[in-house]
Structure 1
């Protein structure tokens, strides 16, 4: 069993009010009444209002007031106004600390509610991918670049359709709520069209029309679509997205690209070449990694991009989820901190022939 130790930072902050009052008390006793340390006892409830709840702040203020009275009597400060001034200072700071603690508690409750809503939105928008789909074993990793967010502008899905297992990984231009809204449009259109369109070109056209109709301005979405049938071929359609990475069971890494990339979704009205599907052969044990540019464009402190081909060996881990987790952890270590862009990775392991396009739950 793993024992989790409390973080050092919160423990230090929790002890700060008591430590501040202790230091002031010792300094006042040592230096004497002439230095005027007594009003600094109010640091206790001030710090408590910043790190604790209102009840703890009231208790700390009461302790500070008793300490103020005790030191004031010891120093003989109640024979003049200094003792009463110090008491007024403690009571005033305690009141301000209680107000600050109440406001902070309300903000924390609001943030918790927002997080809860975001988690529900994530489950609706980015549904868990099935662990097994037809001939494939799947795992997914998603990291949002927005602080406290669970979702962003990257998108993915895996669907069992009458035409095989169909997959999408995409990246919406921009960040924030507008990007999430666009991602919802693309995923909604994909989930419907994947069951209706007999080929990937038609599926891509449906997505293009949906994005062009629903998304305002010059926003666009890069995406790669994949289709896996009962054979050893995968059909890909690339709408201006980074080429997938194939890690071969026999060794080696490939980045299959089309003869010509077509424009991202949402820019079809600008012309350009029509999308053309292309095929890749897969052998049992081969892995296909679909990802967004938040992975390959992550930089280390020296400005070097993440070397994805050199990290392909991390995917040799037998368990797909652990393999993808190892790759994500390595990506975060490379960036030496939070990522500056959303990063989605969908790992598909080809296992060989299967009886049909069925799902095994996540």
Structure 2
């Protein structure tokens, strides 16, 4: 059972806040134009000085230094035009207004510049922390893993973010190369926490469980244990339903095959002889966190041919559900076929550019992909068995 496609974001609270913010940005210029209209009409006797002086101060709140300068320039222009039109030069009121406007403009510009500098410093610090967290949580896969060469890519939909609810990993074990890719249903820190829990369980179990289904079951058990912790963000049953995790675990053994356990995740794409086909599961299974909807066995492993020269792409739904301005989905199989001769690095760069063009740079969801090419295995010796590894099984 694959999770249903996510519909485009609706007019929720985020869009409401954006509309209010845009309205606040227009307010300083609207005030200046209002003053201009009043001063050019017979009602010019109305004292509008305070409105004009407030223009740069209001701009400093929402638009930063450049917006403050633009609002100041408009306010000065309005003041000069209205004073000339009303023949008010020489009067004390005009010069008092200009002096007050100058003082407020300078103070507003300095304040907005200081706020912007502090904001940039805080944002840079957050980005450094996010980059360090990404190195731990979503480290790039190794370029060579036994019989495959691999590459990975992660694109965060949130502006300025580097990690989110998507997860991936690829490691070489004595059972073969094992990979996981997944997507947490949810946003924010709870989604990052759930991704970290699943990845931690995978990285531990992948070396000790010979059955790929048991590796997935370990990930599901870890997610349920974490959900039961008070304050985990997934303890409430309703929230847990929204916080499920679709995962796909694949194993590439020494034989020319690939074994897959799919728990509600988009199927991987296999490129062979220039043609792409999805590796659909024989029986759909629910994502992790929704085990109560499982009607059959706890899971099964599907096996597909995967020989030398074949290419396999594991991806999250952020790729195939990316939409253009006409609401059309991104055609990943077509793009994969079009770039069949590309190297792994060139393919991932081409995929990134194609997604950017398709969505005009506005991804609605995070994107994670692992690309693997089957090659001749020149590393015949597998890693150490679990008995040779330190840990609870030693």
Per the TM superposition, whether the score is higher than 0.5 is yes
Q: Give the one of 287, 290, 295 matched to 1:264.
A: 287
Alignment RMSD, CA only? 3.4
The superposition leaves residues 243-277 of structure 1 with CA deviations (integer Å, 9 ceiling, x where unpaired) of 110001x2322212222022211122343222110
Q: Give the one of 204, 222, 233 matched to 2:216.
A: 204
For 1:230, the equivalent position in structure 2 comes to: 254
Deviation at 1:47, TM superposition (A): 7.8
Q: Where do 5+ consecutive residues of structure 1 fail to align?
A: 1-37, 69-74
The superposition leaves residues 103-157 of structure 1 with CA deviations (integer Å, 9 ceiling, x where unpaired) of 2221221111111111111111101111111111111121112222111111100
Q: Distance in 2 between matches of 1:238 and 1:288?
A: 15
What secondary structure sits across from 1:316 in the alignment?
coil
For 1:107, the equivalent position in structure 2 comes to: 119
**Cα gap change, 1:281 to 1:354, in 2 (>3 Å):** farther
Query: Contact 2:274/2:340 (CA < 8 Å) preserved in 1?
Result: no
For 1:126, the equivalent position in structure 2 comes to: 138
The superposition leaves residues 23-71 of structure 1 with CA deviations (integer Å, 9 ceiling, x where unpaired) of xxxxxxxxxxxxxxx9989989998995549xx98xx99xx9xxx9xxx
Deviation at 1:337, TM superposition (A): 3.3
For 1:303, the equivalent position in structure 2 comes to: 327
TM-score, normalising length: structure 2: 0.71
Q: Distance in 2 between matches of 1:81 and 1:259?
A: 83
Deviation at 1:85, TM superposition (A): 3.5
1:291 and 2:315 matched: yes
1:247 and 2:247 matched: no
User: What is the aligned residue count?
Assistant: 314
Query: Contact 2:274/2:337 (CA < 8 Å) preserved in 1?
Result: no
For 1:23, the equivalent position in structure 2 comes to: none
The superposition leaves residues 317-349 of structure 1 with CA deviations (integer Å, 9 ceiling, x where unpaired) of 442011121022112222233111111111011
What secondary structure sits across from 1:207 in the alignment?
helix
Q: Where do 5+ consecutive residues of structure 2 fail to align?
A: 1-48, 81-86, 228-233, 235-239, 384-394
**Cα gap change, 1:52 to 1:301, in 2 (>3 Å):** closer
TM-score, normalising length: structure 1: 0.76
**Cα gap change, 1:187 to 1:83, in 2 (>3 Å):** same
For 1:350, the equivalent position in structure 2 comes to: 374
1:179 and 2:186 matched: no
Query: Contact 1:145/1:341 (CA < 8 Å) preserved in 2?
Result: yes
